[in-house]
Amino acid sequence: MSDRADLLQGTLDLLILKAILPAPLHGWGISKRIRELSYDVLQVNQGSLYPALYRLEDRGLVRSSWGISPEGRRAKFYTLNAAGKKKFAEEKANWRLFTNAVEQILHAT
């Protein structure tokens, strides 16, 4: 379990930030959204998701507040703040750089 979390460490943050970019979501919502957006390829383990959320909150990139979910339940919603948005832009650029580099290596002959 923990092995995969480590592997996803950098990307998981990016995915979470992307998931809550349009609108605040609760934990389960984030995991569902990531699953949907990736067409069920990426399954975010909750053992990694919540610690990641708390970590992002600790770093001051997301804010959390209690509210009522669309399903009518009391849930904790995570919102991206200004620092989080900036961080997302940075992380996205980094990711592009990284994947392009890997692509080039793989395409090299």
Stretch that binds other proteins, among 6-14, 16-24, 66-74, 99-107 (CB under 8 A): 66-74
Q: How far is the CB of 8 from other proteins (least distance, A)?
A: 14
Q: Which amino acid is at 90?
A: E
Q: Which residue, 91, 62, 60, is CA-closest to 77?
A: 62
Stretch that binds other proteins, among 6-14, 70-78, 89-97, 100-108 (CB under 8 A): 70-78
List CB contacts of 72: < 8 A, sequence separation 6 or more.
none
Q: Kindly provide the residue ranges of all beta strands, DSSP E only, lying in the chain, ordered along the sequence.
A: 25-26, 62-68, 74-80
Does position 71 interact with other proteins (CB under 8 A)? The reply is: yes
Which listed residue (14, 42, 76, 92) binds other proteins by CB under 8 A?
76
Does position 63 interact with other proteins (CB under 8 A)? The reply is: no
